[in-house]
Amino acid sequence: MTQVTFSSWGRQVIDNRQGGDAEVDVAKKKLPISFDGEKNIAAFMGWDGLILHDPQVDVVAMAAEYAKRVQEDFCCAKCSPGKKGTRVMQDTLARIIDGHGEEKDLATLENIAELMQNCKCTLCMTSAVPVVDTIQNFREDYLAYIRGERKPKGNVEYKVKLTAPCQDKCPAHIDIPAYIEAIKDRHYDESLAIIRESMPLPAVCGRVCPHPCETACRRANVDDSVNIMVLKRTASEYERQHNLQPPMLPKEKKNKKIAIVGAGPAGLAAAYYLALEGYSCTIYEALPEGFGGGMIAVGIPAYRMPRHILQRDIDIISAMGVEIIYDTRIGTDISLVELKQRFDAVLLAPGAHRSKPMGVEGEDEGYDGFLAGGIDFLREAYMGKPTGMGKKVCVVGGGNTAIDCVRVALREGAEDSILLYRRTRKEMPADVWEVDGADDEGVQFEFLVLPKKIVVDENRQVTGVECVRMELGEPDDSGRRRPSPVAGSEFIVECDTLIPAIGQDPDLSFITEDTGIEITRWNTVVTKFVPLKSAAGRDLNDDMGNPLSRILLTDMDGVFASGDAEIGPLTVVACVGNAHRAAKVIQRYLEEGQAYLTDDDFHEDILSHLGVYDKHEEVPWLDAVARFNQHEIHGKERASAGNYEEVELGFSDSEAVQEAERCLRCYRVSMIAV
């Protein structure tokens, strides 16, 4: 196990320079040993201190370089304490490194750090933290420079990256503070341009994103998180409502062609970024024309994601030269091997359109009223096809798809729409606001119940489902309390329609043995990765158990994978972030003949695993300002039969500006010495 020489991370000093083996938890579990699988991480410097592995690292020189990069590369110069303070810090440290420093300079640096607590945002004030830590804990090293006894060593390479808690938590790593500040200044076009650097479906993500960024918003340490998602919608709505032409122009056409399987969020996002670089992209989509967007089109109801809004985002991507061929199923109409022969690279992004089996007695008997799955039900409803639904509908599951099903059932004419879930409302994986919406519309909930058997009449028509009551025990691997059946508690819930909605899988049947592509037991595509290990010797994985530094290249040369097929069924924003990386890797493959990750990719993954947000941080603020929530249509009438009108209405421009003013602009600078 790698020993930490010194750490001030988390405001706790652990000093092993004179011996000792005290452990630093964050270094042991969160920070990898190597930066990229080859170069070791010698030291990590950032907003919360210093972690030093290699005692040979010149901490004073690193602090000087850190201050230099903060001032020259990242300081916005919009406030005097930041603009002048970082410059004084840079110049003072440079003078010390050059051998012209004085001992009183150390006090100056500490005083400047104190003055920088009055900065407009947190970038400059947090950049002072590690510098002061080095002065207070490595004073003799500073004095050695001041006395002329030391000169900088040139054997360290520095990797520097700007981040923010919200930006780090966003799977697409959108520069959230920047686009919010542009809205605050009423520069909506600038805001949208910033969003599109990392998110080519802004109108979609401004409506249906589960906004994990808001769980890492420091404003929540004061009162409540900034309404980040709806502000994104504001920026996209401005362009649409004012009939403005999107300004993006692709680069000159290149002579390389890329095939993409699936016109869902991953396929569309990859095509957008590749088209910007001048590559010809052809997307093959199994759904008919008019249903571009994949799971967004047939898995998210129109009352959440209006079709014309989705289509506009797709049309913008198509206008950049991306061709979408509909009604074409890979493996049936054209094989993967044929695609590889016709194109220079292929990206697999088919989405997760296959429902998981429920595992109840009778589900394979073909009973009338037992529907194939939640995602199938939603797809048929959105495409205007008969769903086979009756008047009393039961849906089994606790995720967003299950919630969409019970809400759509009401709009399709159900008199009773009932959700069956084996845990309590608190443990539901569905977004809280979606559950609240279902409640508002009149959905009935049966918690702590587990379906066991489908009940039918003599005509094989579903008349109910036999369930057993559940009770919660100790937490399982997910952190939620494990449900177990209560003996003798069986009962029947009456219904004429039963819809399982317990999860989806990608349909990867088009990947045949001759391709050499491996499929995991979770039915996802295996892609190459660079192993990053912690000091404790563990492989570092993301929240889904996937390796951090995935290159997204399969075992078939020139064939890549992205989205649900690569990371497992997740969210629109997760698919977009994954696809953006895939696009960059594909570009390197086509231009350099090699698929690889850059230093920026590795740094991004390291920060994501480390975590930038501290929910326990005490954030000073003069006054709490209430969060603006978007306007919404309430009441059961919004879910009346055939009513798919949008229920969430966004902000007015003035409300968006006021909400944007709540942002604390929480940038941080990370530096890794390798």
Q: Are 269 and 171 in contact (CB under 8 A)?
A: no
Say what the pLDDT of residue 530 is: 92
344 has a pLDDT exceeding 50: yes
For residue 48, give Cα distances in angstroms to 12, 448, 463, 520: 10, 43, 60, 38
- Indicate the helix (H) or strand (E) that contains 434: helix 432-441
Q: pLDDT class for 25, splitting at 50, 70, 90?
A: confident
415 has a pLDDT exceeding 90: yes
Say what the pLDDT of residue 2 is: 62
Beta bridge partners of 475: 481
- Indicate the helix (H) or strand (E) that contains 456: strand 449-456
User: Running DSSP on this structure, what letter comes out for residue 203?
Assistant: H
- Give residue-wise pLDDT tens across range 290-333: 889 988 988 899 999 999 999 999 999 999 999 999 999 999 99
What mean pLDDT, rounded, does the chain reach? Answer: 92
List, in order, residues 6 or more apart from 32 with CB less than 8 Å away: 41, 532, 533, 534, 540, 548, 606, 609
CA separation for the pair 504, 564 (Å, rounded): 10
Q: Given the structure tokens 């326990």, which residue do they identify?
A: 616
The percent of residues in the chain predicted with pLDDT above 70, rounded, is: 99
Single-letter residue type at 458: E
**What tokens were used for 20?**
């000792």
540 has a pLDDT exceeding 70: yes
368-372, 498-502, 545-549: least confidently modelled range? 545-549
CB atoms within 10 A of CB 455: 17
Q: Are 31 and 51 in contact (CB under 8 A)?
A: yes
594 has a pLDDT exceeding 90: yes
Say what the pLDDT of residue 404 is: 94
At residue 667, φ and ψ (nearest 5 deg) are: -70, 150
Q: pLDDT class for 197, splitting at 50, 70, 90?
A: very high
146-160, 275-289, 413-427: least confidently modelled range? 146-160
Single-letter residue type at 306: P
Contacts 24+ apart (CB under 8 A), 455-462: 455/492, 456/362, 456/367, 456/369, 459/368, 460/365, 460/366, 460/367, 460/368, 461/367, 461/368, 461/369, 461/496, 462/367, 462/368, 462/369, 462/370, 462/495, 462/496, 462/497, 462/498
CB atoms within 10 A of CB 552: 27
Apex 351 CA angle, 312 and 325, nearest 5: 55
628 has a pLDDT exceeding 80: yes
Q: pLDDT class for 202, splitting at 50, 70, 90?
A: very high
CA separation for the pair 116, 608 (Å, rounded): 27
Q: Are 673 and 40 in contact (CB under 8 A)?
A: no
For residue 364, give Cα distances in angstroms to 390, 453, 454, 461: 19, 11, 10, 14
Q: Are 143 and 134 in contact (CB under 8 A)?
A: no
- Residue 656 Cα to chain centre, angstroms: 23
Q: What is the mean pLDDT of residues 574-601?
A: 96
State the virtual CA torsion across 337, 341, 342, 343 in degrees, nearest 10: 90
CA separation for the pair 59, 6 (Å, rounded): 11
Strands 491-494 and 462-475: antiparallel
459 has a pLDDT exceeding 70: yes
**What tokens were used for 70?**
């903060």
**What tokens were used for 598?**
């850059």
CA separation for the pair 64, 77 (Å, rounded): 19
Buried-state track 380-389, b at ≥16 Cβ within 10 A, e below 16: bbbeeeebeb
State the virtual CA torsion across 563, 565, 567, 573 in degrees, nearest 10: 20
Nearest Cα residue to 122 out of 625, 621, 672: 621
List, in order, residues 6 or more apart from 310 with CB less than 8 Å away: 203, 204, 292, 293, 296, 297
Helices 122-137 & 80-97, crossing angle to 10 degrees?
30
Q: How many helices (H) and strands (E) does the chain have?
A: 22, 25
State the virtual CA torsion across 424, 429, 431, 433 in degrees, nearest 10: -10
CA separation for the pair 148, 146 (Å, rounded): 5
Q: What is the mean pLDDT of residues 79-102?
A: 90
Cα-atom radius of gyration of the chain, to the nearest Å?
Answer: 27
Domains in the chain, CATH or no CATH each: 6-163 (1.20.1440.230), 257-353+506-531+547-592 (3.50.50.60), 357-501 (3.50.50.60)
Q: What is the mean pLDDT of residues 36-54?
A: 94
Nearest Cα residue to 205 out of 633, 558, 580: 580
365: left (phi over 0), alpha (psi -120 to 50) or beta: alpha
**What tokens were used for 353?**
């359109």
Q: Locate all alpha helices (DSSP H) within 147-285, ordered by sequence.
A: 165-169, 176-184, 188-196, 202-208, 228-241, 265-276
- Give residue-wise pLDDT tens across range 219-239: 999 999 999 999 999 999 999
Single-letter residue type at 225: S
Q: pLDDT class for 1, splitting at 50, 70, 90?
A: very low
Say what the pLDDT of residue 457 is: 94
In a 3-state reduction of DSSP, which class is residue 43? strand
State the burial class of residue 480 (Cβ atoms within 10 Å of its Cβ: 0-12, 13-18, 19+). middle
- Give residue-wise pLDDT tens across range 240-259: 999 999 999 999 999 999 99
Say what the pLDDT of residue 169 is: 95
Q: pLDDT class for 24, splitting at 50, 70, 90?
A: confident
pTM metric for this prediction = 0.92
Q: Are 230 and 184 in contact (CB under 8 A)?
A: no
At residue 637, φ and ψ (nearest 5 deg) are: -65, -25
Q: pLDDT class for 621, splitting at 50, 70, 90?
A: confident
**What tokens were used for 537?**
């010797």
In a 3-state reduction of DSSP, which class is residue 40? strand
Q: Are 636 and 416 in contact (CB under 8 A)?
A: no
CA separation for the pair 127, 129 (Å, rounded): 5
Q: pLDDT class for 607, splitting at 50, 70, 90?
A: very high
